[in-house]
Amino acid sequence: MNPFKGRDFERHIILWAVRWYCKYGISYRELQEMLAERGVNVDHPTIYRWVQRSAPEMEKRLRF
């Protein structure tokens, strides 16, 4: 099963945001600004949902 199926953004963008949040502990608004600097227009509530859905599994796999 693909956890990214049906998402409006590419998988690597979601993974960037979740990884940066987990590793560096920056705010959702800061992540929104960082992604905007890279040409990705996404609002902070969307990033929040990505983190809530993906962070627990990512942290298990990557062991920050």
Spell out a b/e string for 14-38, using b for 16 or more CB atoms within 10 Å of the CB, else e. bebbbbbbbeeeeebeebbebbeee
Quote the pLDDT of residue 7: 57
Q: What is the pTM of this model?
A: 0.75
Three-state SS letters, 8-49: CCCHHHHHHHHHHHHHHCCCHHHHHHHHHHCCCCCCHHHHHH
Structure confidence by residue, pLDDT tens digits, 3-17:
555 556 788 899 889
Structure confidence by residue, pLDDT tens digits, 6-62:
556 788 899 889 989 988 989 999 999 999 999 999 999 999 999 998 888 777 777
